Structure 1
Amino acid sequence: MPVRKGTATVLTCALSAALVLTGCGAQRPSAASASAPASASPEASVPEGRDGANRAPARLPGLGPRTYARIPDGTTQALVVSGDGVDGNVATAVLHERDQAGRWHRAAGPWTGHNALRGWTDDHVAGDLRSPTGVFRIGDSGGRLPDPGARLPYDQDEEFGVSGTGFLGEPLEGSFDYVVAIDYNRVPGRTPLDKERPLGPEKGGGVWIHVDHGGPTQACVSLLREDMKELLRALDPAREPVVVMGPAAALAD
C-alpha cells in the first residue's frame, strides 16, 4: 500500500473552541464528479424472476435519475450517505458495488453517523456549518493511527491529531484517527492534509469522512470507528469510488 506523508497542518472537521476551523468547507461538485453521467436504467429494479427472488437493482436504491446520472460511467463502488432532512445532522451510510451485469449490490452497512450541524447545502460557503450535497470522488485516505489495511493511498501522520470539544461538548480526540478525503475543493492524489483549494478558500475545504465523535460536524461526514476501518478496507481505487451525499429527499431527485 502506498504511503504518503502530509506537509500541511491538519484541517479540522468539527467545531471546537480549541481549534482554528479552516477545514470541512465545501464547494460545488467538481467536474470530475459531475461531468461524466452514467447510463442509468429508467427503472430502479428489474421484475422478479420465475423463482420469485428479486434481482439486484439497476440503479442505486434511494437515488433518483438526476442524482444517479452524475455517477461517472467507470464507477462500480458508491458510498451513499443519506441525511434525515435538509436541516438534520444525523445520516446513514451504505456502501454499494456494481457487478459486471450493471446491477448494484449492498457491500457494507448501513452505518449511522453524522453530518454538519445545520444540515446540507448544494451551494456551500465556508463557515455555514452545512455539508455539501452531491456526487464526489474519494481516492485518498490517512489518519493519526497506522494503516488498518486500506487499499487507497494512506498517509499516517501525527498532524491528524485533534483535541478540544465539539458542538455538544463531546471530546474530539481521535476523530481523525482514520479519514477519507472527499474530492471537494481539493487536489486529488494528495494527502488529506493538503491545503490547496482550487476554487478558493471562501468555498471551504478539508471535507472528510472521519471517525464519529458523538455529535455533528462542521461539514464532514462521520462514522463509528469500526465502520471507518471497514470502509477503508473496502474502498478500492480500481472501482473509481464516489460518495453520494445529501438529504434523502434531494438524493431521490
Structure 2
Amino acid sequence: MKQNKLPHQEMKTLGLIGGTSWHSTIEYYAAINQSINDYYGNNTNPPLLVYTINQAEVHRFQKINKWDSIAVMLKQAALGLHKGGATSVMFCANTPHKVFDVVQNQLDFPIIHIGDATAKAIKNKGVKNVAFLGTIYTMEADFITKRIADNGVDVFVPEEKEVLVELQRIIEEELTYGVIKPATKTYVLNVIQGLVDKGAEGVVLGCTEFPLMIFDEDLKIPIFNTTEIHSNAAVDYILKR
C-alpha cells in the first residue's frame, strides 16, 4: 500500500543555528535534506533556514565564562530565523545547550533539544549504560547528560582532568578545523574503550564534531551520533511526525 505523504506545501520551516562548527553544520544540512529527499522519493527539499554564528567569538566567551553573551548570540540568531519564517529552531551542536533554558525562556517558539532526542534514541535501542564524550563543558556539567540520565540511562564520562582537557583540545584545535589525525582517533577510541571497561554498553558522541572521526565500524558497541539523532528530530518536526 502506498504511504500517504505529507503535502510538501505543509512542511514546517525549521531554523538551524550553526557555525559551531560549520563542518558539523554541513552534516546537519546534508542529513536533513537527504532524509526529506528519501521520504518523497525525489529531490523535494525542506524549508530550512541557516544562521551561522561566529565560532571564534563563542570560544572566546567560553574561555572567560561569559555564557550570558553566548545566550545573547543564540537568541538573536533564533529571532532572526523566526522573522524569516522558521516556526522552530535548533542549536546544531551540544555545548550551546548549556544556555538552552535561558534562551528558550525568552522565545515564544520551540527549540528542539539535542539531549531529549538523544535520550529517546538510546531508549529505543534498549541500552541502559552509555559513555558520553563531548567538550569539557558538556562533560563537566550535566546540562546534556542529566537529560539522558533522567530517562533511566546511566551515563559514564571520563573522570581524569587531563583526558577532559585533551578531548577539548582535540575538538577546538583539530576537529573544528576539519583536521582528522590517525593518532588522535586512536586516542579517542582508547578513551571510549576505558569507559566500556567500566560498563558502558554504548557511546554518545556528544560533540557534533566527533562523528567526523568516529564511525560505526570503529566500535563493537552502538554509537549514538548526536548530529544524526538531532537531524532525525529535525525531520520529524518538518514532516509533523
Same-fold call, TM > 0.5? Answer: no
Q: Shorter-chain TM-score: what band?
A: under 0.3
Q: Which has the higher strand share?
A: 1
TM-score by length of 1: 0.25
Q: Which has the higher helix share?
A: 2
TM-score by length of 2: 0.25
